[in-house]
Amino acid sequence: MTDSPPLKEKINSRRPKQYSVFSQQELPAFKLILTPGSVIASFLLLGIIFIPIGLTSLVASEKVVEVVYRYDLDCVPSNYTNNKVGFIQNPQIDKTCHKKLTIPKDMKSPIFVYYEIRGFYQNHRRYVTSKSEKQLMKKSYESETESCSHEGNTSNNATIVPCGLIAWSLFNDTYGFTIEDKPLPINKKNIAWQSDTKNKFGSDVYPQNFQSGSLVGGAKLNSTIPLSEQEDLIVWMRTAAMPHFRKLYGKIEQDLKAKDVITSEIQNNYNIYGFDGQKKLVLSTATWIGGKNIFLAVAYILIGGICLLLGIVFILLYMYMPRPLGDPSYLTWNQNQK
């Protein structure tokens, strides 16, 4: 009869363990003990950091100078006030309108020209997915129109480049400015993200059969210019997350003085009347924080104020209602015995 191997040999066996310290949660760990002092210091520190950041952001936002003009109502003739859709869809009616804009404060160049649309849901799933990223990038993928649920092919089954609803609905209002009867140029170069022009739109992809149907959704594209250089399209194709949005139209590279009067010439072509939308022309400067937006500043100030308030509350509680750390008398079962 052979003897069984000793227990020590079994323990030193090369067989892998059936569990690990990770799966059994046996790794060494550090747990911070929240003392009154550490909690109070944390709240006060956050308040001291956040409030100055918020105030600095608020000051920067208030330094931004904006001129905002809603023109979708003013640019409709009085006899079409009750039939705006009929006005915008009639190609025989001149859509040009003029408006004098007064500059409220000095505006340093570059002055950014935006168009603002309200009530347009670019974030609708069917709209967002109605494009072909492959087609936009390379000429060899021109026929890739499966993802374009609409405006993928013409009635003769010819491929549309760029396809889809996003490109088809390209914004087509135009703006021009004069000051003291002299033209005020708008630079439309470098208005799109560099990452988009280089990586998402091909230099060998040219528009084909675009807006050639009976129903035209928006602006037309120059078929001799590659998509990578058509920056109005590139800006529009970066869809907005909210139904109210601004998109960059161009830049005025000239300073404007307070009380200057500029005359804007607007071609009111884009149909927002069918869904009761709004259109605005916006001139804006920028600071290190960007355009005018007080949300970030208010958020920092609000969070910092709450942290400071909590810190003061905990200080008062610690001073007037102290108790030993880890006092067992506060355990539930000890409370029930009293």
Domain ranges (residues) in the chain: 34-64+288-320, 65-285
Q: How confident is the model at residue 215 (pLDDT cuts 50, 70, 90)?
A: confident
Of the pLDDT bands very low, low, confident and very high (cuts 50, 70, 90), residue 6 is low
pLDDT on residue 14? 64
Per-residue model confidence (pLDDT) at position 185: 95
pLDDT in tens, 54-111: 999 999 999 999 999 999 999 999 899 899 999 999 989 999 999 999 999 999 999 9
Q: Phi and psi dihedrals of 12, rounded to 5?
A: -85, 15
Residue 282's SS3 state is strand
Say yes or no to pLDDT of 335 above 90: no
What the block records as the tokens of 305 is: 């104020």
What is the rounded distance in angstroms from the CA atom of residue 193 to the CA atom of residue 150?
26
Does 52 have pLDDT greater than 80?
yes
CB-count burial class (<10 Å; 0-12, 13-18, 19+) for 135: buried
Which of 55-64, 152-161, 280-289 shows the lowest mean pLDDT across its residues?
Answer: 152-161
pLDDT digits (tens, 9 = 90+) for 19-33: 677 777 778 887 777
**Confidence category of residue 36, pLDDT binned at 50, 70, 90:** confident
Q: What is the pLDDT of residue 22?
A: 77
- Give the confidence band of 337 by pLDDT, cuts at 50, 70, 90: low
- Token match 């520190």: residue? 45
| 262 three-class SS | strand
| pLDDT for res 155 | 82
3-state secondary structure of 188: coil
The average confidence (pLDDT) of the chain is: 89
Q: Is 324 helix (H, G, I), strand (E, B) or coil?
A: coil
Amino acid at 222: N
pLDDT exceeds 70 at position 209: yes
* CA–CA distance, 100 with 266 (Å, rounded to integer): 11
pLDDT for the residue 29: 80
Residues 6 or more apart whose Cβ sits within 8 Å of residue 276: 119
